[in-house]
Structure 1
């Protein structure tokens, strides 16, 4: 290891994809302007596919304009917040783009959230309008008396955009299963399609600047409970352009991406929706990405880009009847949100011709900060890759967070870049603890090697301290998973009067066969220091 190497040397830039520079020349453009440009250049390219129903970029732009005009008629002001409680369906995309186009702020909320969580996020953001699904609209109406600022509710249906044959089947299925969706009558509750029938072309224009807030994205954050991450148009636009620079082998206007990641999660919003709109790609919307419909959609639509989370990749592997080698149109597999198990990577590579590119990020960074360059997958197995252009990274000591640790040693990963948020909403103390001089403290323990590749060891909060020594659960879990009988494992801390804490491993075996504890201890012996080996 070269001990003279510093994080300031930006060693990662030497291993960037060919021709990529550390600093980019960014276009001053917001996401709806990408849509406007692509509607002009690729009007007939299919933008969205939902259950066989297709709309092209010209139509998507027209629908976005109509919805923006609708919001103007409702007197929605610049900086006003609108809650989106929707799965990945066409109205979700149109609503989001329309909100951003007039300078309002989108607040994505998981439809599966509890009433308490919805109430917190809607009140904290001071949302004045909600756009949701008919299936949960009555629940939202009942919740409205507890919502301090919500004045209007718009609801749509899964059946609003379906091919004629599927619309008939959808109706018959509802009758057969005795599923009836009847939204209760209430003031200021509107049906989505009725609003569109009343709107003509977009006539209202509003100046939206890159510095303006685009979304409040709620997250548990790096510490504490749900809080709103404030992301600007600049954050979202810079992130898209960083991704464009990294994957230059992908073609503008000529790719198909699977929309399986929920848009209410920042990974799905940025890496699927925003990224696709900026590149005039076709998004195949999949609200419920179970393995069989996911596999079917990838094959049937000749999907070329597949962004998934690790659990989705594992679910495809677990369905042994699926022939993954038939997914041969794919140019790029992306994985994020959490660490991808090395064994999953290897198993997937055996069955497909295209490797999984792993990345790293956090909601507070829009979210992607690191991506693995394709040519290094085997040499740097387990790495989260290199920082994106204009993204600076350091590893700092765990005690003070002020001093850089030597290259190769573990510490907390801190990041600075154009995709990083400025603050949390209404949380000045948490903001100042998480962002210091523009650097976001990720709470992730990591290392950087001499080539500038980063490796996540564990979460700072998950770290076990035994007799003053640090034990990183993920490191031990990866080792235990090499045991042929082990299917899953979780290493946690356990109080100990003598050592403070000890590591304890919980294990699920294949076929529920018994594995003696000593056998698992022996598989760790000699590979990690004794103090890291689980005692139970």
Structure 2
């Protein structure tokens, strides 16, 4: 038997009064987080939530996230974390596809009305029975009349709960991820998938009870969830939560809390470098305490890495992972060494190989698709056996990424077989953007690609063919798309064109568009 909430429960016993999470001026101990998670679990059971039921969660990096996350796990249910940037129709799709029985959504802000969007998505989803609004303070009334809040749900519930026994092979979390075709797919990650990856991640980032982690990567993203939040819970470390990346805010918190461990996507390192280029900030305290920096989500440009390392006098450890891999597959490991530009070597218990199109392993130095197997490989895509069968063959997960292995066993990601765009560490599926844009009355055809961008790694560009006799502008199309899709997905560059290159079968040749 294994329930992932043991990560929190064990530290609540061992480090009861120690600070687990700090957000702004408030701090909660491990015992407080565990007690609140027990209240959530008791409330869920009283509502009739059964082991195996799916429960969705949309929340910023706030202490409510680990509380609700662990409350769901304790009840034996499955957590379905959703991006905070999703719009109502996207939320409806995720709730419906995951068979969510309940949904917790933070109320959001004026700029990002998550609660309103969430409630709209919930109302469209017949099978989802319960909606709870997470308010900034537990005693605040809901911003939508008649909607119950997390605070009222927890009120009167016992802070003691006998955690439901789950099998290690039961699904703990469903993380929505991409392909180049169709809509996002739910990767089913088991309690053992996530437990093993958490334990090895704690070693990779050298996390100890005395450490202080700064979590600015979004907790709904598997990188932050496993490598930072769960690793910190496992080791009894203190985590500082920051809901949105802001270079000055990150540096100020690093200085104030004497942060020792930081993880970010390449755009965050780029942002910190850029801020320090143009602003005065005394980083001497940060340099004296910061010991580990990790990077993932996309390839970190070598000039960005070298500049950051020179400024802070430390080594950034870069790794490679996927939602389907819980996430860590390879990493530049402290006991193995690292190579700049490399994503390191396979982590404990994971095998990696590179194969050609015939499935044969390629020699050292030659390009091949990266395959891996081990304790980190997902159970499969939820309710999608066809996609699972295409992705996992004989236990090997086919990543769709092209890599090279050097003579020392270090892997370098060089290309990708998928058209997926990674913008600022977040996955964007071109077809999803194309489908939204093609709903515009003036639009006939759209082809979306990723183009290189210094800040985001890749930026989204759309080539648009208009219907005969119709007119519109790039600006108008940008606003239209922005209003109908998550903020990180809409194209910042739009080019209205007369033709799109196609093959003999009529397939748009995106590789030709990338040459333009």
State TM-score, norm by structure 2: 0.78
Alpha-carbon distance between aligned partners in 2 of 1:290 and 1:487, rounded to the nearest angstrom: 14
Asked whether the 8 Å contact 1:477–1:490 carries over to 2, the reply is: yes
For residue 333 of structure 1, report the CA deviation from its aligned partner: 0.2
Residue in structure 1 matched with residue 92 of structure 2 by the alignment: 119
Residue in structure 2 matched with residue 155 of structure 1 by the alignment: 133
> CA 1:360–1:324 in structure 2 vs 1: closer, same or farther (change >3 Å)?
farther
Alpha-carbon distance between aligned partners in 2 of 1:408 and 1:491, rounded to the nearest angstrom: 31
Residue in structure 1 matched with residue 436 of structure 2 by the alignment: none
> CA 1:330–1:70 in structure 2 vs 1: closer, same or farther (change >3 Å)?
same
1:257-289 Cα distance to aligned partner (Å, 9 max, x none): 011011111111111111111111111111112
For residue 462 of structure 1, report the CA deviation from its aligned partner: 5.4
Alignment counterpart, residue 144 of structure 1, candidates 108, 122, 127: 122
Asked whether the 8 Å contact 2:213–2:261 carries over to 1, the reply is: yes
Alignment counterpart, residue 171 of structure 2, candidates 210, 213, 216: 213
Which blocks of at least 5 consecutive residues in structure 2 are unaligned?
109-113, 421-448, 464-499
Residue in structure 1 matched with residue 80 of structure 2 by the alignment: 107
Alpha-carbon distance between aligned partners in 2 of 1:107 and 1:95, rounded to the nearest angstrom: 11
> CA 1:37–1:323 in structure 2 vs 1: closer, same or farther (change >3 Å)?
same
Superposed, 1:87-486 pairs within 5 Å as 87-135=60-108, 136-160=114-138, 183-186=143-146, 189-221=147-179, 224-247=182-205, 249-251=206-208, 253-319=209-275, 320=277, 321=279, 322-328=281-287, 329-374=289-334, 380-397=339-356, 399-400=357-358, 402-461=359-418
Asked whether the 8 Å contact 2:133–2:142 carries over to 1, the reply is: no
Greater displacement, 96-105 / 33-42: 33-42
For residue 304 of structure 1, report the CA deviation from its aligned partner: 0.5
Q: Between Structure 1 and Structure 2, whose CA radius of gyration is higher?
A: 1
Tell me, yes or no, if structure 1 residue 63 matches structure 2 residue 20.
Answer: no
> CA 1:45–1:502 in structure 2 vs 1: closer, same or farther (change >3 Å)?
closer
Alpha-carbon distance between aligned partners in 2 of 1:200 and 1:491, rounded to the nearest angstrom: 48
1:197-228 Cα distance to aligned partner (Å, 9 max, x none): 31123244421121111011001147653010
Residue in structure 1 matched with residue 12 of structure 2 by the alignment: 39
Asked whether the 8 Å contact 1:82–1:105 carries over to 2, the reply is: yes
Which blocks of at least 5 consecutive residues in structure 1 are unaligned?
1-27, 162-170, 172-180, 464-472, 507-533
> CA 1:142–1:491 in structure 2 vs 1: closer, same or farther (change >3 Å)?
closer
Asked whether the 8 Å contact 2:179–2:418 carries over to 1, the reply is: no
1:115-135 Cα distance to aligned partner (Å, 9 max, x none): 121111100011111111224
> CA 1:149–1:337 in structure 2 vs 1: closer, same or farther (change >3 Å)?
same
> CA 1:487–1:323 in structure 2 vs 1: closer, same or farther (change >3 Å)?
farther
SS in 2 for 1:190: coil
